[in-house]
Structures are given as structure tokens and as C-alpha cells.
Amino acid sequence: MPCKPDNPGVELPSGFRVGHWTDARAATGCTVVIPPPGTRAGVDVRGGGPGTRETEVIGPFAGAHDVSAVMLAGGSAFGLAAADGAARWLEKQGRGHPTPGGKVPIVPAAVVYDLAVGDPSVRPGPEQGYAACEAASEGEPERGRVGAGAGAAVGKLFGRDGATFSGVGFAGARSGRGETVCALAVVNAFGDVLGEDGAVLAGPRGEDGRMRSTSEEIAAMPAPPEWTQLEERNTTLVCVITDAPLDRAACTRVARMASGGVARAVDPVFSDADGDVAFCLASGAGSGDRFGAIAIGTIAATVTAAAIRDAVRSAA
């Protein structure tokens, strides 16, 4: 089937590059997606605690016609500064939205909270964002505990000590028309990651070391527990990358459909303790059609779920 996700050998569409900056000791980092010029973008923001920058400027009613890069970072709100470094790198490359005073790079960004692990005083900033751009390459992105996923974990119901390591995941597929649809995911969810069969692939471990289901544990609790760990915010970030000819409005709809893929693979999802964000980048030339956008969104949801599972498997 052309829409079946396949990780071995899957590569980014032509012209796209992904780069990471990682501090393994501090368990933090940032990840940049650099598209070819003229790429359109859309975004879908869910959950109770998102940390974002310049998401409105790529909305369907915004004036900007393209996006220069997307930055995903650790460091919580401090990590949004990594986008400054990407903007500086892009300016040197002559990339950005044309204005009377010169080109201004458009770099939407979203962050995960990783300050409770590693060294919380180390956060991605402008220099680290610049370094991620310098490291960006085409082909198959590096996955696992790298970049924005260096300090990621899932299944935090019993606290960080009982959680399961996660990281950056990647998956891709082709449409019946031959278009490439990929998803890059940074998975730092409060809930569990579910496998293809719906069983818990990665979740919290109890005192006996056995993996539990967060949803089942919550449903069985007679009273609210002392959820001090909810102060550690949680987030799943996704960037759908395609060479299909989608306009800005279609990119927004595809990003929304990709959020459906997050819901297939993460449970619970979009909670008060999560700040989930899905981006969509589309580089294809020419005019698309309504069915094309539906097809790309359908595949985007499938590869998003696969990328989330890959983030756990690659981290292991």
C-alpha cells in the first residue's frame, strides 16, 4: 500500500533539511526544519500549555506567503530563543519574507518542557539554534534522544522516575499520486504512547516495575492524587513535511488532521498538562485540489502516529 509508513530508508522530500543541536549531559537540545523557498505552512495548537512563537503568522488568514523554517526546542519558554539563531542564519542565506527594509525570516517555533531532567540552567538559545541550522541536512533525519527530544519522556503519571524515555521520531509514506508525506515528532507526553495494536508501548512504571496504562490508572482512582508532577509540563510536537501542492488553508487543515494522528498514538492526549502543536509544511508547485488535501491529511495522520511510536523505539 502506498500510504503504509516505512521508516527504513525513508527520506525527506527534495529541498527539505533537518538539523539538531544536542547537549546530552544537560538533556536538552533543539531541532530545525528548513524547507525550500516558497514553502507554505499551517499549524494546529492543542492542549492546555503550549509554548509557541509566530504561529499566528502562518495561519490561513495571515499576510505572509511562505515560511523560512520551523524550530522545535527544549528548554520550555526559554528555548523559544533558539528561533533567533535560525533567523540570523536564514538572513545570511538571503532567506525571508520580503519587506522594504530587507528580508525578514519567518520562523515559527514550539517548545517542550525538559527542565526537570539534566541541567535546567542549560537551554537552547540563539547560538544553539544557529548551530542546528548549520548541521541541517537532507535525507533521513537522525532520530532518538537528539535535538529537541534529548530530554523527552512519556508516561509521567507516577513522576519522572517512573516514566519511559522518548525522543525524536520520523516516519514517511507516499501518496497514490507519488507525493511524499513525512512526519517529524518530538514526544514528551504526559500520557502513554500506544502501539499499532492499541496496547501501551511506553507508559509509567509502578513500584513493581510493571508498565501501567495511564488511562486505566486515572479512571480507577477514587480521589485526585497529589499530582505534583503535573507542574512538569508535557508536549508532543509534530511537523508534517510534504512536497504536495497545498495552499496555506490546506496546510492548516492537514495540520489539524495530523493532530488526529497524535490522538491515535498518545493517550490521554490534549490534556491540561500538555501543550501539543502540529505544523504542516508543503513545498509542491502548482495548484492543488480538494481531494489532494484530504489525501495528504489522511496520510499525515498515519505517519504522525508512526513517528510518535518511532520516537519511543528510537530512544530505546
pLDDT at position 2: 43
Handedness of CA 35, 279, 293, 268 (dihedral sign): positive
The CATH number of whichever domain residue 76 belongs to comes to 3.60.70.12
Tell me if 119 is assigned to some domain.
yes
Tell me if 10 is assigned to some domain.
no
Amino acid found at 117: V
Output phi, psi for 294, to 5 deg: -65, -45
Report helix, strand or coil for 267: strand
Segment (H or E) for 202:
strand 200-202
**Helices 82-92 and 126-135, interaxial angle, to 10°?**
50
What's the structural domain count of the chain?
A: 1
pLDDT at position 225: 62
Q: How far is residue 27's CA from residue 145's CA, in Å, rounded to a whole number?
A: 8
Amino acid found at 228: T
- In this prediction, the residues of the chain whose per-residue pLDDT falls under 50 are 1-2
Full residue range of the structural domain in which residue 262 is found: 17-315
pLDDT at position 170: 98
pLDDT at position 290: 86
Handedness of CA 91, 44, 279, 62 (dihedral sign): negative
Side-chain-side CA neighbours of 151 within 13 Å: the count stands at 33
Q: How far is residue 229's CA from residue 19's CA, in Å, rounded to a whole number?
A: 31
Hey, what's the cell of 136? 541541517
Tell me if 226 is assigned to some domain.
yes
Segment (H or E) for 43:
strand 40-45
pTM above 0.85, yes or no: yes
Tell me if 265 is assigned to some domain.
yes
Q: How far is residue 313's CA from residue 270's CA, in Å, rounded to a whole number?
A: 22
Asked whether the beta carbons of 108 and 45 are under 8 A apart, the reply is: no
